[in-house]
């Protein structure tokens, strides 16, 4: 990951303004600690904080075309850059950077080149020939981007809103799969796959095609010139990522520099489900496994810093981001700069446990579409900003554009949970990798039911957060929450506590409006209740609710919780784990 900041239409072009741009760009240096760059031309500025992953020696940004009339600052990775260079043989490249193709593609194809890019990216490009500019974000919003407007009429873009919040009167999250064009005026969507309109697909399910698509998605993410590894929780998704990566590592370019032994990383409270499961998978795959522990108090101590970096007060995101933030610091200390992670699978395949209650394939498909479209506000935001806080890049093969095309074209009837046919959640993914001849994973791991991340790191983690918040927020504070926070009013003490921290760092209305909530969440919750009325009694956004689909896992985890908890809190009845039904925009 890198940090980008771009400003267009500044009235003030003084040295003081240049210094201010440098100061604001420095707020993003955690994303790119390896080098800084700044391009100035008249009333525009393009700043860059680089995390060097590909071509560390010569790929500094901003990047230019041959005569430097086109300049671009990019946050991301373009996995098909070598194939794109073949299309641009009449252009002269100055670096080995995967991102340099963007400047030349623009020269060759104009603004319509964005769909040619295979990767994760946010970029801003300036064309000095007519003083125009474009900005674009990848299909799903894996990399963050914000757009803002100054009182002087200037337009701002940045990887994180902390670089905009003081100088822009208004700013919003830049929509995934969109391009902003100064020539055409405003945003338009460049990513328009058939599934995006929520039309019900009718494609066949071919397990070998699905498997091949995912293996391709993983192997292309082995493109790196720096040490890397896999985040391994021991669940299905991260285990498949680790299994495929370990199989193909020996044939990758990375193996030439860093060897063919895959590094895997896991974090949790002592005795947590994730630590046990990850160790089992790592032993089976023969990876170099790194296991880290944290305490509830260490997590609580990190909360303010976590919220500053992830720029949200969403409860489930804060809960899950904290362990990821902590492990990223450990990973960076080992000299690792890139990790591959398993985000996106549950949204694509209906893997959350509440999908057991989907009444038909139409509603299941529509729900998966809604969740994929909201990923940039939740799991993508968490995975990117939690790791980037320490200069680590997270890559997510399940959200590969080609893999999405394959997975979302399958008739959603195959994604339905069918106990009568022996199909649990994500059966089509599990079945695709069920290979008796050359197993990817042991059967009991391949068909293991999911853990929610916040609970997987330790069953006392959520309870510890709640107990801490209860001590910080009084009953009177919560009772008057609607007056203090009339927008997205917190309904629990934990939510109030996170909101107060967020407001300290980001006090503007524009900032709080970038966090999902209000009608969209209410609509989503209503949808969940429509599937099962029992959800109406579930006030905790973690998704712990009384649905009898995960009792065995909870009972096993409860033993671990009772052994490790030190805060004295306990669940007074058996709760089972389901997905956060509020996390849909």
pLDDT tens-digit series, residues 448-480:
876 655 567 878 999 999 999 999 999 999 999
pLDDT tens-digit series, residues 3-22:
999 999 999 999 999 999 99
User: Are both 211 and 165 inside the same structural domain?
Assistant: no
Helix (H, G, I), strand (E, B) or coil at 152: coil
343's CB contacts (< 8 A; 6+ apart) are 237, 375, 379, 380, 383, 394, 396, 398, 399
**Is 40 labeled as catalytic in the residue annotation?**
no
User: Are both 182 and 240 inside the same structural domain?
Assistant: no
Q: Does residue 267 contact residue 330 with C-beta atoms inside 8 Å? A: yes
523's CB contacts (< 8 A; 6+ apart) are none
pLDDT tens-digit series, residues 256-270:
677 779 999 999 999
DSSP letter for 13, please.
Answer: -
Radius of gyration of the chain (CA): 23
User: Residue 521 — pLDDT band, cuts 50, 70, 90?
Assistant: low
Kindly tell me if the per-residue pLDDT of 563 is higher than 70. Answer: no
CATH code assigned at 225: 3.40.50.620
pLDDT tens-digit series, residues 96-136:
999 999 999 999 999 999 999 999 999 999 999 999 999 99
186's CB contacts (< 8 A; 6+ apart) are 180
Rounded distance between C-alpha atoms, residue 298 and residue 103, angstroms: 44
User: Residue 528 — pLDDT band, cuts 50, 70, 90?
Assistant: low
User: Are both 163 and 288 inside the same structural domain?
Assistant: no
Rounded distance between C-alpha atoms, residue 77 and residue 50, angstroms: 12
What was the pLDDT predicted at 352?
A: 87
What was the pLDDT predicted at 391?
A: 97
Domain that holds residue 276: 207-577
Domain count, the chain: 2
Question: Mean pLDDT over residues 496-502, rounded?
Answer: 98
What was the pLDDT predicted at 197?
A: 80
The verdict on whether residue 98 carries a ligand-binding annotation is yes
Q: Which two tokens stand for residue 202?
A: 């009718």
Residue 292 is assigned to a structural domain of this protein: yes
User: Are both 386 and 266 inside the same structural domain?
Assistant: yes
User: Residue 530 — pLDDT band, cuts 50, 70, 90?
Assistant: confident
User: Are both 184 and 230 inside the same structural domain?
Assistant: no
Kindly tell me if the per-residue pLDDT of 552 is higher than 80. Answer: no
Q: Which two tokens stand for residue 213?
A: 């698509």
Question: Mean pLDDT over residues 181-206, rounded?
Answer: 92
pLDDT tens-digit series, residues 282-326:
999 999 999 999 999 999 999 999 999 999 999 999 999 999 999
User: Are both 188 and 322 inside the same structural domain?
Assistant: no
CATH code assigned at 94: 3.60.20.10
Question: Mean pLDDT over residues 28-57, rounded?
Answer: 95
Q: Which two tokens stand for residue 519?
A: 């009608």
Calculate the dihedral angle through the C-alpha atoms of 531, 535, 541, 545, rounding to the nearest 10 degrees. Answer: -110
User: Residue 277 — pLDDT band, cuts 50, 70, 90?
Assistant: very high
User: Residue 566 — pLDDT band, cuts 50, 70, 90?
Assistant: very low
User: Are both 156 and 267 inside the same structural domain?
Assistant: no
User: Are both 294 and 154 inside the same structural domain?
Assistant: no
User: Residue 168 — pLDDT band, cuts 50, 70, 90?
Assistant: very high
The verdict on whether residue 32 carries a ligand-binding annotation is no
The pTM (predicted TM-score) of the whole model is: 0.91
Sheet holding 170-173, edge to edge: 35-41, 44-50, 3-8, 155-158, 146-149, 170-173
What was the pLDDT predicted at 185?
A: 86
Residue 432 is assigned to a structural domain of this protein: yes
Residue 585 is assigned to a structural domain of this protein: no
The alpha-helical segments, DSSP class H, found in 165-287 are 207-220, 236-248, 253-258, 273-285
What was the pLDDT predicted at 452?
A: 58
User: Are both 396 and 502 inside the same structural domain?
Assistant: yes
Kindly tell me if the per-residue pLDDT of 542 is higher than 70. Answer: no
Q: Which two tokens stand for residue 196?
A: 């995006």
Q: Of the residues 192, 223, 239, which one is the last residue of a structural domain?
A: 192
Question: Mean pLDDT over residues 538-562, rounded?
Answer: 48
Q: Which two tokens stand for residue 487?
A: 């927008």
User: Are both 302 and 404 inside the same structural domain?
Assistant: yes
What was the pLDDT predicted at 206?
A: 98
Q: How many residues does the structure list for the chain?
A: 585
Residue 583 is assigned to a structural domain of this protein: no
136's CB contacts (< 8 A; 6+ apart) are 114, 121, 122, 123, 178, 179, 180, 190
542's CB contacts (< 8 A; 6+ apart) are 315, 316, 319, 452, 454, 455, 462, 580
Share of residues in the chain with pLDDT > 90 (%): 80
> Omega into 62 within 30° of 0, i.e. cis?
yes
Specify the higher pLDDT residue, 279 or 561.
279
The verdict on whether residue 231 carries a ligand-binding annotation is yes
The verdict on whether residue 267 carries a ligand-binding annotation is yes
pLDDT tens-digit series, residues 314-337:
999 999 999 999 999 999 999 999
What is the chain's mean pLDDT, rounded? 89
Residue 565 is assigned to a structural domain of this protein: yes
Write down the residue that tokens 């201010």 correspond to.
20
The verdict on whether residue 177 carries a ligand-binding annotation is no
Q: Does residue 387 contact residue 381 with C-beta atoms inside 8 Å? A: no
Q: Of the residues 150, 168, 192, which one is the last residue of a structural domain?
A: 192
543's CB contacts (< 8 A; 6+ apart) are 316, 352, 353, 354, 452, 577, 578, 579, 580, 581
Specify the higher pLDDT residue, 107 or 570.
107
Q: Of the residues 143, 168, 192, which one is the last residue of a structural domain?
A: 192
- The H or E element spanning position 264 is strand 263-268
Rounded distance between C-alpha atoms, residue 123 and residue 516, angstroms: 24
pLDDT tens-digit series, residues 395-449:
999 999 999 999 999 999 999 999 999 999 999 999 999 999 999 999 999 998 7
User: Are both 120 and 259 inside the same structural domain?
Assistant: no
Count CB neighbours of 473 within 10 A: 20
User: Residue 554 — pLDDT band, cuts 50, 70, 90?
Assistant: very low
Specify the higher pLDDT residue, 198 or 284.
284
Question: Mean pLDDT over residues 228-237, rounded?
Answer: 96
What was the pLDDT predicted at 531?
A: 84
Rounded distance between C-alpha atoms, residue 420 and residue 424, angstroms: 10
User: Are both 83 and 174 inside the same structural domain?
Assistant: yes
Residue 469 is assigned to a structural domain of this protein: yes
Kindly tell me if the per-residue pLDDT of 76 is higher than 90. Answer: yes
Q: Does residue 268 contact residue 457 with C-beta atoms inside 8 Å? A: yes
pLDDT tens-digit series, residues 337-386:
999 999 999 999 999 888 989 999 999 999 999 999 999 999 999 999 99
User: Residue 585 — pLDDT band, cuts 50, 70, 90?
Assistant: very low
What was the pLDDT predicted at 366?
A: 93
What was the pLDDT predicted at 544?
A: 54
Residue 584 is assigned to a structural domain of this protein: no
**Helices 273-285/551-564 angle, 10° precision:** 110
Cβ-in-10-Å burial (0-12, 13-18, 19+) of 303 comes to buried
Count CB neighbours of 529 within 10 A: 15
Share of residues in the chain with pLDDT > 70 (%): 88
Specify the higher pLDDT residue, 398 or 579.
398
Residue 197 is assigned to a structural domain of this protein: no
Q: Does residue 237 contact residue 430 with C-beta atoms inside 8 Å? A: no
User: Residue 548 — pLDDT band, cuts 50, 70, 90?
Assistant: low
């Amino acid at each position: 990951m890198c940090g980008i900041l771009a400003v267009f239409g500044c009235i003030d072009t003084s040295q003081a303004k240049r210094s201010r741009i440098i100061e604001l760009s420095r707020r993003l240096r955690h994303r790119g600690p390896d080098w800084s760059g700044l391009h100035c031309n008249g009333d525009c500025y393009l700043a860059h904080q680089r995390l060097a992953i590909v071509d560390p020696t010569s790929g500094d940004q901003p990047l230019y075309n041959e005569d430097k009339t086109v300049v671009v600052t990019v946050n991301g990775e373009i996995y098909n850059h070598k194939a794109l260079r073949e299309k641009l043989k009449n252009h002269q490249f100055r670096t080995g950077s995967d991102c340099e193709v963007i400047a030349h593609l623009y020269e060759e194809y104009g603004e319509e080149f964005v769909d040619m890019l295979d990767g994760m990216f946010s970029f801003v490009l300036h064309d000095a020939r007519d003083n125009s500019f474009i900005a674009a974000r990848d299909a799903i919003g894996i990399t963050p981007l914000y757009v803002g407007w100054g009182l002087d009429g200037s337009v701002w873009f940045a990887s994180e809103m902390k670089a905009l919040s003081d100088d822009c009167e208004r700013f919003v999250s830049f929509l995934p799969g969109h391009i902003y064009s100064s020539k055409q005026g405003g945003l338009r969507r460049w990513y328009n796959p058939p599934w995006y309109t929520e039309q019900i697909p009718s494609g066949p399910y071919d397990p070998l095609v699905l498997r091949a698509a995912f293996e391709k998605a993983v192997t292309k993410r082995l493109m790196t010139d720096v040490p890397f590894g896999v985040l391994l929780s021991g669940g299905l998704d991260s285990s498949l990522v680790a299994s495929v990566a370990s199989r193909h590592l020996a044939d990758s370019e990375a193996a030439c520099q860093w060897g063919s032994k895959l590094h895997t990383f896991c974090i949790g409270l002592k005795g947590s489900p994730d630590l046990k499961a990850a160790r089992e998978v790592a032993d089976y795959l023969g990876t170099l496994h790194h296991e880290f522990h944290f305490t509830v108090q260490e997590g609580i101590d990190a909360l303010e810093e976590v919220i500053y970096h992830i720029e949200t007060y969403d409860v489930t995101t804060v809960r899950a981001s904290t362990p990821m933030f902590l492990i990223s610091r450990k990973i960076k200390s080992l000299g690792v700069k890139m990790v591959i992670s398993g985000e996106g699978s549950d949204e694509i395949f209906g893997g959350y446990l509440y999908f057991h209650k989907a009444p038909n394939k139409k509603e299941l498909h529509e729900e998966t579409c809604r969740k994929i479209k909201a990923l940039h506000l939740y799991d993508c935001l968490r995975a990117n900003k939690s790791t980037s806080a320490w200069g680590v890049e997270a890559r997510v093969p399940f959200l590969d554009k080609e893999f999405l095309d394959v997975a979302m074209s399958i008739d959603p009837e195959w994604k339905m949970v069918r106990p009568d046919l022996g199909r649990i959640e994500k059966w089509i993914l599990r079945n695709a990798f069920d290979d008796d001849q050359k197993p990817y994973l042991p059967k009991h791991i391949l068909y293991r039911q999911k853990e929610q991340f916040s609970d997987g790191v330790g069953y006392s983690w959520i309870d510890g957060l709640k107990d801490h918040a209860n001590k910080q927020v009084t009953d009177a504070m919560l009772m008057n929450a609607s007056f203090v926070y009339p927008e997205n009013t917190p309904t629990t003490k934990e939510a109030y506590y996170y909101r107060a921290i967020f407001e300290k760092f980001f006090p503007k209305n524009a900032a709080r409006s970038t966090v999902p909530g209000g009608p969209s969440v209410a609509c989503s919750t209503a949808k969940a209740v429509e599937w099962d009325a029992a959800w109406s009694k579930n006030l905790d956004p973690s998704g712990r609710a009384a649905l009898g689909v995960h009792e065995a896992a909870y009972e096993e985890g409860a033993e671990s919780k009772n052994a490790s908890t030190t805060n004295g809190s306990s669940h007074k009845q058996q709760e089972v784990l389901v997905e956060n039904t509020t996390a849909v925009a």
